[in-house]
């Protein structure tokens, strides 16, 4: 799935007359580039349900250019993102991002209980345990994985698996009971659900736009001077 696609120009027209001065030409060039939507991004939302504590859900994605990517869940405390409303009550998530060629980049869990940004506190535990991660990624293929704390990646590659993989419902075992999705960190042995929501929001890096503008401006000015 391509998260960054070419953007269609806006219907808004920026007119630069033939008699424009050089500064007006530069201003028109900049306005036209911005109105074309170079700074736009996209958001993709995934929802699902883990069948047990040691299950790992993976999603592959591709960035077409240098991109700032926000990965976040809102299934622990609940919330609305990208038009999708998610109830609270989900397990404590771990977000892990892998480069398809070089392996594990980083993993982040929500097990610190601190509310930040748009996070919501769960109505039962009164803490925030959703995960959030921001990365600047180059163009390429990646895999993001969602798992339950503390089923973290072993690394350095996806093929090395996850710490609790094959251990079944390890949270129930930790709490001395049966069943899955017990919180084992801050809200000790409160049972959650296997539901999760993962949001991936992307914004193309502005460097491509700013490096392209001087070259385009020089060409335009040269043509104008020749007339």
- pLDDT confidence tier of residue 87, bands split at 50, 70 and 90: very high
* Cβ partners under 8 Å of residue 124, min gap 6: 88, 89, 187, 190
d(CA 12, CA 16): 13
To which residue do tokens 């039962």 refer?
A: 124
Q: Tell whether the model's pLDDT for residue 178 goes beyond 50.
A: yes
CATH architecture of the region 41-205: Sandwich (2.60)
| Domain extent listing, the chain | 1-39+206-227, 41-205
Torsion sign (Cα): 51, 189, 75, 143: negative
Tokens of 203: 């914004």
How many Å separate Cα 152 from the centre of its chain? 18
Tokens of 212: 């392209």
Q: What is the pLDDT of residues 25-46, one digit of tens each?
A: 444 444 444 433 334 578 999 9
Contact of 44 with 1, CB cutoff 8 Å:
yes
Q: Which of 180, 98, 79 is nearest to 146 (CA)?
A: 98
For helices 207-226 and 22-35, what crossing angle results, to 10°?
140
Q: Which pTM was predicted?
A: 0.73
């Amino acid at each position: 799935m391509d998260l960054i696609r070419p953007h269609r120009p806006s219907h808004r027209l920026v007119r630069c007359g033939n008699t424009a001065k050089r500064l007006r030409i530069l201003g028109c060039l900049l306005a036209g580039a911005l109105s074309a939507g170079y700074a736009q991004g996209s958001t993709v939302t995934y929802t699902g349900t883990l069948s047990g504590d040691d299950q790992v859900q993976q999603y592959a994605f591709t960035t077409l250019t240098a991109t700032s990517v926000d990965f976040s869940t809102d299934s622990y405390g609940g919330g609305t993102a990208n038009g999708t409303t998610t109830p609270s009550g989900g397990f404590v998530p771990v977000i892990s991002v892998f480069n398809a060629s070089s392996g594990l980049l980083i993993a982040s869990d929500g097990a610190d209980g601190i509310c930040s940004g748009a996070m919501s506190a769960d109505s039962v535990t009164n803490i925030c345990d959703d995960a959030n991660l921001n990365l600047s990624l180059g163009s390429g293929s990646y895999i993001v994985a969602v798992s339950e704390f503390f089923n973290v990646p072993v690394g350095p590659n996806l093929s090395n698996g996850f710490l609790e993989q094959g251990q079944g419902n390890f949270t129930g075992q930790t709490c001395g009971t049966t069943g899955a999705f017990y919180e084992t960190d801050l809200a000790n042995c409160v049972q959650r659900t296997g539901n999760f929501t993962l949001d991936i929001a992307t914004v193309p890096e502005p460097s491509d736009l700013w490096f392209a503008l001087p070259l385009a401006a020089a060409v335009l000015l040269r043509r104008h001077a020749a007339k």
